[in-house]
């Protein structure tokens, strides 16, 4: 595994996301430990997606969403099911994209630099097991391209993370 940051800098966003998808496919086939897998997936995302200040996982537990492996500043360790962007993705069982977190009622601030956010639910069969949370300091950072590619990443990670 060799991440060449100079190469990444020369790629457009679509190529970066395609490379990211390839790396995640390899990780999923090489590693079945959920902590190792989530740790490297968040590191790959942070390396391959430009303009992110936070990328990581929240794990679904009976009592709420618990912080998992991530890249970025320290974050809220526990989120309830009824407040914030991650909780909305949990309740709706769908990707949530927020272009301006200031406009999102109940947004939970972990890093005040975050301006836009994308949350992707990950399933094992019917069970929602964890969520990937991405924060950007740029408003409206996430476009249709990111939605399409992260929907694919969500599918690749389906039935791979057993916690
Ligand atoms: N903003 C999230 C909380 C998690 S941090 O962004 C890492 C939310 O509203 O659920």
Ligand 1 in contact with 76 (CB < 6 A)? yes
Predicted confidence at residue 8, as pLDDT, reads: 87
Ligand 1 in contact with 17 (CB < 6 A)? no
Instruction: Give the Cβ contact number of residue 60 at 10 Å.
Output: 20
Please report the atom of ligand 1 found closest to the CA of residue 114. Answer: 6
Q: Rounded distance, CA 98 to CA 85, Å? A: 8
In a domain, 67, yes or no: yes
Q: Is the pLDDT of residue 95 over 90?
A: yes
Ligand 1 in contact with 79 (CB < 6 A)? yes
Ligand 1 in contact with 84 (CB < 6 A)? yes
- CB-CB contact of 136 with 52 (8 Å): yes
In a domain, 120, yes or no: yes
Predicted confidence at residue 6, as pLDDT, reads: 83
Q: Is the pLDDT of residue 16 over 90?
A: yes
Predicted confidence at residue 99, as pLDDT, reads: 98
pLDDT band at 7 (very low <50, low <70, confident <90, very high): confident
Provide the β-strand partners of residue 55.
71, 134
In a domain, 163, yes or no: no
pLDDT 10s digits, 54-68:
999 999 999 999 999
Q: Is the pLDDT of residue 9 over 90?
A: no
In a domain, 162, yes or no: no
In a domain, 128, yes or no: yes
Number of domains the chain is built from: 1
Q: Is the pLDDT of residue 119 over 90?
A: yes
Ligand 1 in contact with 66 (CB < 6 A)? no
- Does the pTM exceed 0.75? yes
Q: List strands edge to edge, sheet with 127-136.
A: 78-79, 64-72, 54-61, 127-136, 116-124, 96-98
Domain of residue 138 covers: 5-157
């Amino acid at each position: 595994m060799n991440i060449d940051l100079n190469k990444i800098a020369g790629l457009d966003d679509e190529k970066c996301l395609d490379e990211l998808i390839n790396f995640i496919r390899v990780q999923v086939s090489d590693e079945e430990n959920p902590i190792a897998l989530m740790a490297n997936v968040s590191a790959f995302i942070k390396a391959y997606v430009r303009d992110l200040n936070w990328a990581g996982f929240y794990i679904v537990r009976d009592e709420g969403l618990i912080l998992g492996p991530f890249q970025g500043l320290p974050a809220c360790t526990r989120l309830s099911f009824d407040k914030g962007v991650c909780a909305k993705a949990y309740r709706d069982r769908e990707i949530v994209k927020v272009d301006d977190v200031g406009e999102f009622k109940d947004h939970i601030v972990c890093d005040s630099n975050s301006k836009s956010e994308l949350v992707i639910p990950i399933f094992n069969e019917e069970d929602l097991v964890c969520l990937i949370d991405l924060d950007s300091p740029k408003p409206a950072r996430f476009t249709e391209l990111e939605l399409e590619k992260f929907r694919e990443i969500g599918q690749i990670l389906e039935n791979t993370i057993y916690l």
